[in-house]
């Protein structure tokens, strides 16, 4: 997969790509990520990329021309499955969206800033808009890094243990069950006997029950009745 990230703060977003799972995906050659500084496509010699909004109101709006130039330069070179705009006024990212995106070949991610982008950018270039939750961040960069992490770890070969992404929370509309490791007793706190029993069908049953319990308790909104 190739990911092109268009941003006004390349430095803010680069660090997560230099560590951990995302780095592993890049080092293995499974994913490549390119950063594009929107200022390089600014409309004057100062790299102007934003302006006041028509009709008045606080906050600067990213202009259409620099974004057009940047996206057009990319689209001229290859075709893209999606042009994603990161913005709080969009549908919230979930596991299903991450799963779908993980099979894309090429994607562009545009990160907003200030008051956002000129609406015509969203209408003409953007094919998918994603928010990461119901709160406002200063810019879309951190949100884009989160999206990339959620997607990249799902690409086959990126995680060492192929099955582990499939047993994540949310993959079956359930939160993950509790997990334990050694020692089996610590300061009188015991690991549930069932996990030490060696009875794997029973252990799976217990895990499923615990996952349903936890989901009912904490996130009844995601609980799918077919899982009960
Ligand atoms: Cl994608 N961007 C910003 N600026 N704030 C957010 C967000 C995105 N998702 C949630 N809050």
Residue span of the structural domain in which 106 resides = 2-152
Atom of ligand 1 nearest to the CA of 130: 1
Does one domain contain both 145 and 89? yes
Whole-number Å distance, alpha carbon 145 to ligand 1 midpoint, is 11
Q: Establish if 25 belongs to a structural domain.
A: yes
Q: Give the pLDDT mean for 144-167.
A: 87
Specify the number of domains making up the chain: 2
CATH number at residue 195: 1.10.1270.20
Indicate the residue among 94, 125, 152 that finishes a domain. Answer: 152
How would you class 143 by CB atoms within 10 Å of its CB: exposed for 0-12, middle for 13-18, buried for 19 or more? buried
Q: Give the pLDDT mean for 171-196.
A: 96
Ligand 1 neighbourhood includes 131 CB (under 6 angstroms): yes
pLDDT in tens, 73-110: 999 999 999 999 999 999 999 999 999 999 999 999 99
Does one domain contain both 129 and 188? no
Contact 130, 85 (CB under 8 A): yes
pLDDT surpasses 90 at 226: no
How high is the pLDDT of residue 33?
97
Q: Establish if 227 belongs to a structural domain.
A: no
Does one domain contain both 8 and 53? yes
Q: Is 70 helix (H, G, I), strand (E, B) or coil?
A: helix
Q: Establish if 158 belongs to a structural domain.
A: no
Q: Give the pLDDT mean for 153-179.
A: 84
pLDDT in tens, 20-44: 889 999 999 999 999 999 999 999 9
Q: Which tokens hold the place of 204?
A: 């799976």
Q: Give the pLDDT mean for 183-187.
A: 98
User: Which pTM value belongs to this model?
Assistant: 0.93
Closest CA to 90 of 126, 56, 64, 65: 126
Q: Give the pLDDT mean for 58-64.
A: 95
pLDDT band at 227 (very low <50, low <70, confident <90, very high): very low
Ligand 1 neighbourhood includes 110 CB (under 6 angstroms): no
Does one domain contain both 50 and 73? yes
Closest CA to 144 of 20, 33, 21, 30: 33
Ligand 1 neighbourhood includes 132 CB (under 6 angstroms): yes
∠ CA 32-34-38, nearest 5°, is 165
């Amino acid at each position: 997969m190739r990911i092109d990230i268009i941003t006004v703060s390349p430095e803010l977003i680069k660090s997560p790509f230099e560590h951990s799972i995302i780095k592993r995906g890049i080092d293995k050659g499974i994913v490549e990520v390119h950063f594009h500084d929107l200022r390089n496509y600014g409309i004057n010699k100062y790299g102007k990329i934003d302006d006041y909004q028509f009709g008045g109101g606080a906050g600067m709006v990213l202009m259409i021309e620099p974004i057009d130039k940047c996206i057009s330069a990319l689209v001229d070179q290859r075709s893209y499955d999606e042009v994603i705009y990161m913005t709080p006024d969009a549908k919230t990212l979930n596991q299903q969206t991450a799963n779908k995106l993980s099979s894309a070949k090429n994607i562009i991610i545009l990160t907003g800033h200030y008051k956002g982008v000129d609406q015509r950018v969203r209408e003409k270039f953007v094919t998918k808009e994603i928010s990461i939750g119901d709160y406002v961040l200063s810019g879309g960069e951190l949100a884009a890094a989160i999206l990339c992490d959620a997607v990249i770890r799902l690409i086959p070969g990126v995680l060492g243990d192929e099955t582990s992404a499939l047993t994540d929370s949310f993959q079956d509309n359930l939160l993950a069950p509790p997990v334990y490791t050694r020692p089996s007793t610590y300061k009188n706190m015991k690991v549930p006997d069932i996990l030490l029993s060696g009875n794997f069908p029973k252990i799976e049953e217990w895990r499923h029950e615990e996952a349903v319990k936890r989901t009912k308790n904490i996130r009844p909104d995601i609980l799918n009745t077919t899982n009960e």
